[in-house]
């Protein structure tokens, strides 16, 4: 036998949190719309946010590798 009350509580809490996550995703989307309107390149901003999350040494390593791979395929 499952505890219906416990199960319902679990489901409803997850649904509430997922709803909040969805709202936040919408807020992020709005900010990118604002950024685009202000003339910024959204892809570049996303890349910048990714880079800010990384360690500087990791960024440098990736940039070096990107450069090496580019040359390797003649770009």
Question: Which residues are near its own copies by CB under 8 A?
Answer: 2-3, 6-7, 10-11, 13-15, 17-18, 20-21, 24-25, 27-28, 31-32, 34-35, 38-40, 45, 48-49, 52
**Residue for token pair 């505890």:** 3
Cα gap 39→47, rounded to integer Å: 16
- Shortest Å distance, C-beta 47 to its own copies: 11
CB of 6 to its own copies, least distance (A): 6
Paired tokens of 50: 């990714």
Burial of 48 (0-12, 13-18, 19+ CB in 10 A): exposed
Cβ-based nearer residue to its own copies, 1 or 75: 1
């Amino acid at each position: 036998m499952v505890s219906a009350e416990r199960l319902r509580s679990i489901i409803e809490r997850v649904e509430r949190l997922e709803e909040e996550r969805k709202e936040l995703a919408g807020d992020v989307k709005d900010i990118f719309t604002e950024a685009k309107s202000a003339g910024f390149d959204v892809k570049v901003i996303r890349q910048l946010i990714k880079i800010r999350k990384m360690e500087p040494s990791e960024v440098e390593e990736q940039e070096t590798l990107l450069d090496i791979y580019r040359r390797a395929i003649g770009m």
